[in-house]
Chains A and B, each alone.
Chain A
Amino acid sequence: MLKKSGAYMVLDRILSTAGSLDMQVILKGENQELTRFAGSEIHQNVASDELEAEITLHKDGRELKVTTNDFDNDSLRKLVKEAGQRLMELPESERVKSFISEPADISSDNYFKELEREFNIENRAQKLKAAFGELDSDLNAAGSLELNQNFMALGNTNGITRYSRLDKVDFKTVITEQSGATGYAAAISNRAEDIDIGKEFKRAADKARDSRDAIEIEPGEYDVILEPAAVGGLISYLSYIGFSGRSVQEGMSFLADRLGEQVFGDNITLVDDCQDPNTIDFPFDFQGAKRQKLNIIENGVAKELAYDLESARKAGVETTGHSVGDPSVGGFPLHLVMANGEAELGEMIAGTEKGLLITRFHYINVINPRKAILTGLTRDGTFLIENGRVKAPVKNLRFTQNIVESLNQVEAISSSREKVGGFYGYMYLPALKVNGFNFTGVSK
């Protein structure tokens, strides 16, 4: 894994091939080690180390990108020369293409070195073996334990340099009871002390036992208590369809024409903040821009969107530093944090006359982005609540729901929050009690 100085040397070597072209280089390195288990045995255990460079060239409004993992000097020179020739074959464009030029350096090479010690190959196997040993014989475990060490460095011919180290451990498990009932638990963090496999096994095992003899209930509207993993599924997709400047420009977003308006209940505040200690410190984006804090939703009012350079130029604003390297995405918030409330999960259950407690959702997809209508299914722990108590586990249900409506019907928000994996990195989210959630089918 290249440290900052080593990465900058490789960047310099590639940038020296630019000649008269404007060039940006992103260097991505990843050592990924993932131990996968099922039936309380390790069935896939893998490691890979990868280093690749994405080289973007500009000239007269034209843009072309080449990616390589061959760092031989002659190969790099040949690659850039041929790419430069192809670049000039492109039609000229009036779209402005320029790389950023300030600040000169942004870097964050802090990472928690104990992650590698605690979660190396042998320790991952031993930790899982110990956890399997604690499981009762009527339970078996599936899941994965991943140590991911990676960095991204960026430089361009305007002289800027960037480096960020982004290590994390990602653990998830589904425990299955002999009747087929399942329970889920997960933990993700860049700090070793946050990952307690035994604790997560117990959490999932308790859910699996509580899920035995699930009853079938009729689809329809229910008040729901969504644990953070379930909230994460919905927020990930809302972010995917709606929080970027480009999605608003394209008319795909439920926030199109609604900036400055009250779109959610006034108890909903959602920010994107890479400085929040509960997210990963990734202070710049894939165009080298400094990542800004976004107040996306403030007390229910839609305030700020995520922009990359292209979508920002189109909107006549400054980039917010949220490029993910794909102009068709525009900006994308990677560090979502939802404000907590004051409720405890037990209080939410106690205050529910009839409703459902939902652990997580499966296979969410978008039915209508403009209306923020999503569909998906519950899985690994869904429970009927009656008269303030968990009455029985229920068979999985399909929801089809306008999530903007749902975020106007949040009755309670938990005081505690959890780190939840998203499309990239992880989010920091509370549990929510949402009234009138629409279920349209049952999984039989």
Chain B
Amino acid sequence: MEKILKELIDYALEQGADYADIRHIELEEEEIRTEDQEVQSINNKSDKGAGIRVLVNGAWGFAATSDLDNLEQTALKAIRIAVASSKVNRNPVDLAEKEVMDDFYETPIERDPFEVPLDEKIELLLDAEEKMVEAAELFQTGGSLSFRKEKKIYCDSEGSYLVQKLYESGGGITAKAVGDDLQVRNYPCGFGGNYSKAGYEFIEELDLLGHAEEIAREAEALTEAEEIPAGKYDLVIDSSQMTLQIHESIGHPIELDRVFGSEAAFAGTSFLETEMAGEFQYGSEKVNVVADATCPGGLGSFGYDDEGVPAQKVKIIEDGILKNFLTSRETAFELDESSGGAALADGWSKLPLIRMTNINLEPGDYEFAELIAGIDYGFYLKNNRSWSIDDLRLNFQFGCEIAYEIKDGELTGRIFKNPVYTGSTPEFWRSCDGIAGEEDWQLYGVPNCGKGEPMQSGHVGHGSAPARFKNVQIGVDK
């Protein structure tokens, strides 16, 4: 394969490309879903193909094919596209320098999920469903597991040749109960569960069986619970919801292609500008955020990005001040910097875009009980249920699955349903007055981050401990 890809790069240069790179990817996926204690679906996918990216006269062209006997024609198509673009554009693309690398990287795993017997996986989900059904009066139960193995070869005209073997594992369970309305509790988080760059050991560590009864009872209890009262309250937000909060109100605004307007017509832009780095108070001094593609188990971890740039840990917010953006080689050049290694594509058929890696809120120095103790009356919110944010990434509104009442510095045991909170990004992060410590810090994976046209689904991670925010608007639900 190395010879074929290197010869193809040479062919693209001979045909007029000034720069060329190719990604050849072989992908295997498995998804298992159960519902109402029966197997609902088993889907396995195998897929391979190659995407070729070229620069001609400073303009990009990209073409991809699943027909691997047709790579030269695909390279010619990429060049034809770049030539057409170059006749429109006034400003040629430049790329930040990078080191030429020849390397192999593999996700560290203990148990290959594709070697685990199918019946073991199904039994786990059905057993978890049985525990939920036994624990509470439920309308519906369900569970899912999904696995992914990707062999990615990257080769470019600057001389880099990189092979990566990446594994992902994920899963979760769901309990639905019906009273006046339908209430849903998921473990470990909403929408299919949690995901990690890891082997089957990640599923075992999730302990789906150990959490089944709790979410079943909570789903049932929520059907009897009152709606959360509207008003401004102090909140402690669990890591399972902090994931979406970080994702939408930090992760997306720091994508430098958004800042430059590349997503203006679709996903939107950003309230940030490049001049704000080093100056802008994004959050309180408690807030420290990194983009860490080296984080063990992070869904956004890898060895090299899709421009052959090594995985890095980049400071994004330090003591509340914005420091850096997520960059690719093209956007980093505009800042006269080297790439932060955040150019990633959703498979062989898509062009690399700036994507989040693992955008992590670093742990603070509070005990969880201390966070709760600092609230006279407020709520502890868990698990995301809905999300929405404006096209500048300022005005957000999130729904959660459950709110636990806090009174006089203690959790009372009372729960409320349908919690929704809303705010504006910098004001919200500046109101953060405490973050729990390392022992409460958890990583969550988001396998469906949408961006770009054609739409690409990013696999990104977020680590966080529960955090406290002051005076947040709750309950706009009409």
Contact = CB atoms under 8 A, between A and B. Distances in A.
- Chains A and B bind each other: yes
A217 to B, nearest CB: 14
A210 interface: no
B81 A46 contact: yes
B306 to A, nearest CB: 14
Contact of A38 (B51, B178, B265, B476): B265
A47 B77 contact: yes
A127 B177 CA distance: 54
B48 A65 contact: no
Interface in B73-124: 77-78, 80-82, 84-85, 87-91, 117-119, 122
A441 interface: yes
Contacts of A179: none
Contact of A68 (B47, B85, B388, B392): B47
A251 B477 contact: no
A44 B49 contact: no
Q: Chain A contact residues: over half helix, strand or loop, or mixed?
A: strand
Given A50-B49, A64-B42, A362 B391 contact: yes
Given A125-B87, A367-B399, A44 B62 contact: yes
B386 to A, nearest CB: 5
A65 B42 contact: yes
A444 B43 contact: no
Contact of A65 (B41, B90, B178, B182): B41
A400 B418 CA distance: 14
Interface in B272-326: none
Interface string A408-444: 0000000000000000000000000000001011111
Q: Which of B33, B394, B478 has the most CB of A within 10 A?
A: B478
Given A83-B44, A86-B118, A371-B181, A48 B64 contact: yes
A35 B265 CA distance: 13
Given A45-B82, A46-B351, A444-B395, A328 B40 contact: yes
A146 B397 contact: no
A66 interface: yes
A251 B441 CA distance: 36
A12 interface: no
A32 B63 CA distance: 10
Contacts of A91: 38-39, 122
B365 interface: no
Q: For the side of the interface on A, what is the size category?
A: 35 or more
A45 B61 contact: yes
B453 A251 contact: no
Interface in B339-371: 349-351
A378 B375 CA distance: 35
A172 B265 contact: yes
Interface string B26-56: 0000000101001111111111110100000
A19 to B, nearest CB: 18
A158 to B, nearest CB: 21
A45 B64 CA distance: 12
A129 interface: yes
A376 B386 CA distance: 11
A39 B259 CA distance: 12
23 contacts: A38-B262, A43-B60, A43-B262, A47-B81, A63-B39, A66-B45, A67-B44, A68-B47, A83-B44, A86-B44, A93-B38, A95-B38, A121-B80, A122-B84, A251-B176, A251-B178, A379-B391, A398-B395, A398-B397, A400-B420, A441-B397, A442-B395, A444-B424
Interface of A: 32, 34-36, 38-39, 41-52, 62-70, 79, 83, 86, 89-91, 93, 95, 121-122, 124-126, 128-129, 132, 142-144, 146, 172-174, 176, 182, 184, 250-252, 326-328, 362-371, 373, 375-377, 379, 396, 398, 400-402, 438, 440-444
Given A50-B49, A365-B388, 10 more contacts: A38-B260, A39-B260, A39-B261, A45-B82, A48-B51, A50-B66, A68-B45, A328-B41, A398-B397, A400-B478
